[in-house]
Amino acid sequence: MNVLLRVLAILAMAVALTIAVKYNTGYVVLIFPPYRAEFSLSLLIVMLLAVFFLAYGLLRLGAHTLNLPAEVHAFKQERQREKARAAMRDGMAEFAAGHYAKAEKLAVSAMEQGEEAGINAIIAARCAHALGASDRRDAYLAQVGKTCSDYPDAWMAP
C-alpha cells in the first residue's frame, strides 16, 4: 500500500510539473557581449537543476575518492583479522581432532597475526606438551604469564 501511494504521489508531481511547464510563457535572456541567448524559463530551471545535481555528484565522488585510502586500509585490516580468526578456528579444530603438530602451527600463526594471543598460546602449549617439547611449551605459557605449575597435571595431559 505504501508503494502504491508513493507511485501515485510521483505521478501527481509529474502531471503538475508538465502542466506548469506547458503553460509557462516566461523566458530568460542571457547577454554576454557579444553573445545573446534566449531560453524558456522552464528550460533554465531544468538546466540549473541538472547543474546542481551534477556538481553535487562530483563533490560526493571527490569526497569518496579522498576517503578511499582509509576504506582500503580498514578492508585490509578486517581481512587480516578474518585470516587470524580462521587460523585460530582451524587450530582449535585440529587440536580437538588430536593433530597436535598442525594445531600448534595454526595456533602460532594466529598469535603472529594478532588474534587472541592468550587462548592460542595455551592451545600451542598443550600441543607442544603433547608432542613432548617442554621448551616450546614453557615459552608459550610464558607469553600468557603462566607456568606449568599453574595447571594441574590432568589438564596438561593430552
- 101 and 128 share one domain: yes
Domain match, 102 and 55 both:
no
Cβ pair 27, 40 in contact under 8 A: yes
Position 98 in a domain: yes
pLDDT of 26 higher than 80: yes
Q: How far apart are CA 73 and CA 87, in angstroms?
A: 21
Q: What is the extent of the structural domain holding 36? A: 24-68
Domain boundary among 5, 37, 68: 68
Residue 74, classed as helix, strand or coil, is helix
Across all residues in the chain, what is the average pLDDT? Answer: 86
pTM greater than 0.95 = no
In a domain, 138, yes or no: yes
What was the pLDDT predicted at 152?
57
Q: Is residue 30 part of a domain?
A: yes
* Alpha carbon 144 to its chain's center: 31
88 with 158, same domain? yes
Q: Count of domains in the chain?
A: 2
* Shared domain check, 49 and 94: no
Nearest CA-CA partner of 140 in 157, 155, 121, 114:
121
128 lies in the same domain as 60: no
In terms of domains, do 90 and 113 share one?
yes
Least confident of 46-50, 119-123, 142-146, 147-151: 147-151
> pLDDT tens-digit profile of 46-87?
899 999 999 999 999 999 999 999 999 999 999 988 988 888
- If asked whether residues 148 and 100 sit together in one domain, one would say yes
What phi-psi label fits residue 80: left (phi over 0), alpha (psi between -120 and 50 degrees) or beta? alpha
Domain boundary among the residues 68, 97, 120 is at 68
Return the top range by mean pLDDT from 24-28, 29-33, 72-76.
72-76
Q: Would you say 116 and 88 are in contact if contact means Cβ atoms under 8 Å apart?
A: yes
